[in-house]
Amino acid sequence: MHHSEEFGENFPGWRKRKSYIRYLPPYSPELNPTEIVWKFAKQYRLPISAYLSCENFVSPVEYVLKI
């Protein structure tokens, strides 16, 4: 649940309008599609040289995203 002051101030109004707050699990990378793609890219597709500079990184990442 979000714990910001603004969230807390608006919570009673949402309840009056019968809005429901859905609670998400704590950080769960296995449920996040972006994390799954990056895990695949890092482990299986990106060469070590991709991490040496930004210039070396762009082309391999573009390739992985096209797969």
In a domain, 17, yes or no: no
- Whether 10 is in a domain gets the answer no
Residue 4 located in a structural domain: no
CA 53 to chain centre: 23
User: Is pLDDT above 60 for 64?
Assistant: yes
Write the secondary structure of 7-67 as one string of H (helix), E (strand) and C (coil). HHHHHHHHHHCCCCCCCCCCCCHHHCHHHHHHHHHHHHHCCHHHHCCHHHHHHHHHHHHHC
**pTM score over 0.95:** no
Residue 50 lies in a domain: yes
Is there a domain that residue 5 lies in? no
CB 40 within 8 Å of CB 32: no
Q: What is the pLDDT of residues 22-40, one digit of tens each?
A: 766 777 888 788 888 888 8
- What residue numbers bound the domain in which 65 lies? 25-67
- How many domains does one find in the chain? 1
